[in-house]
Amino acid sequence: MNILPDNLDSLPPLAQSVLTYAQQGIDLAESWLLSPAAWSQFALLVIAFLAARLVARRSSPMFTRVVSPVAEATGLFAEARRFLVSLLPLALPLLAYLFTAAGESVTRSLFGSGAVIAFGKRIFLLFAVRAFTRDFLKDPFLRVMGKYVLMPVMLLYIFGLLDPVAAKLSETVVGAGNIRFSLMSVIRGVIAGALLFWLGRWSTGQSRSYISRQEELRPATRELATKAAEVLIFGAGFLLLMNIMGINLSTLAVLGGAIGVGIGFGLQQIASNFISGVILLLEGQATVGDYVELDGGEAGTIVKMTARAAILETYDGKWIVVPNEHFITTRVVNYSDSGSANRYEAPFSVSYETDINLVPGIIEAAVAELDFVLTEPDGPDCELRGFGDSGVDFCVEFWVNGIDDGRNKFTPQVLFAIWNALKAHDIEIPYPHRVVEIKGVGQGLAALSRVESL
């Protein structure tokens, strides 16, 4: 059967290539259908598939029972055993591939050819790749890469088009200005860059998790180690990507000089913030978990420190991005983290008719009964602060763990304790009194009485 037209040379090159490959496929199919050797290879493919299915069905339950660890098992060995069990969906196509490879060696020795069984072997390999993409890859990014990159490559490999397509892509050159790349290098760089970026992100997540569990290190040291690991991982990935794309690393010297000039003229603030972040991590003046207040009025708990800025979370849940440079060049009040002791005050007043010598003992005893009030470095201390317009002013000082913020609210509970203690001892809490004197009232009454007498 011939599908090639007589005027093939007048058609576009792409149409000529498609028709030529289609004619080759038709010729190959006709030769297979008319060849006894091809039919014997089809039979071997069916036998290999049935044998693989039988072996997989019989061995999978036993393999699962022997290899699977107990549910509560942890550690590297247990994870490796779970990984092996997760590969069971690949058992059937891989066994069929192995049995077909054995059958291919037999047919080549008997008939001198094995094109049909070799094609079937590649089909079984495609099924294995499909099962790997569908059942094994759980990460969304890897699943997309398997679906849109690995599967098309396997299809080209099955039909013998992988090498011609790769050669055509290598011959096609694209570029901008003096920079020239083959289309194959661009595609390889995009795929490799995406995989390296995913691997770098996964590696930094694992390293961050591991470093955060090292409780013997200071928080600032852990944060610095995390940033250093991130820079090393992505730096190594960048150099590897340049090598994959065939870019000479010596050309990076020119790029480094250009970046240096850019930093000198336009990126001074970014460079300053980056260096300030490194200084903060090294010195530990402020780290994640600290409650800080800056001269500019920004106040909150540091929830994240990046290479450029620190992120503060306020009492009402808002996030404030503060450049790292502000922590170096301005005054910063650090109230330390939530596990440190801080002192607060609760002011109140009593009536002038109160025996003020009894007030300190009553209030200190009442505040000391609160479970969040500390005895170290000092217990509650009630002090006389002054004599006000309406009453005698006192203030009780107390120490607590953490910050008196919207989540803790220590001071309101202390004020409740003061109110209840004063009421229990019949001590009056004063409110403002005003004495109004009206001048001239006596003269007005005398004049009114003379008028009435007339």
pLDDT in tens, the chain (454 residues): 555 555 556 666 666 666 666 656 666 565 555 565 666 677 777 888 888 888 888 888 887 777 777 777 776 677 777 777 777 777 888 888 888 877 777 777 766 666 777 777 888 888 888 888 887 777 788 888 888 888 888 888 887 778 888 888 778 777 655 566 778 877 887 888 888 888 888 888 888 788 777 777 666 667 777 777 777 887 788 778 777 766 666 656 666 666 666 656 656 777 777 778 777 777 767 777 788 888 877 888 888 877 778 888 887 778 888 888 888 888 888 876 555 688 889 999 999 889 999 999 999 999 999 988 988 888 899 999 999 888 899 999 999 887 776 666 788 999 999 999 999 998 988 887 666 777 665 555 555 555 454 4
Listed residue (91, 82, 83, 168) closest to 124, CA to CA: 91
Q: Judge if pTM exceeds 0.85.
A: no
Other residues' Cβ atoms within 10 Å of the Cβ of residue 424: 10
Provide the pLDDT for residue 322.
Answer: 86
Distance CA 134, CA 161 (A): 24
- The half-sphere exposure of 118 on its side-chain side, counting CA atoms within 13 A, is 11
Beta strands in 306-401 (DSSP E): 309-313, 319-323, 332-334, 341-350, 381-387, 392-401
H helices of 245-334, in order, are 252-265, 268-283, 325-329
Fold of the domain built from segment(s) 269-334: SH3 type barrels. (2.30.30)
pLDDT at 395: 94
Indicate the domain borders of the chain: 35-171, 269-334, 341-424
Query: Which of 205-239 are b and which e, b meaning 16 or more Cβ less than 10 Å from the residue's Cβ?
Result: eebbeebeeeeeeebbbbbbbbbebbeebbeebee
**Is the bond leading into 377 cis (omega within 30 degrees of zero)?**
yes
DSSP-derived secondary structure letter, 42: H
- Topology of domain 341-424 in CATH is Alpha-Beta Plaits (3.30.70)
> 326 forms bridges with which residues in the sheet?
none
E strands, 253-374, are 291-294, 299-305, 309-313, 319-323, 332-334, 341-350
Token digits of residue 408:
């803790």
Alpha helices in 339-440 (DSSP H): 359-368, 410-424
Specify the pLDDT at position 416. Answer: 93
Q: Quote the pLDDT of residue 421.
A: 92
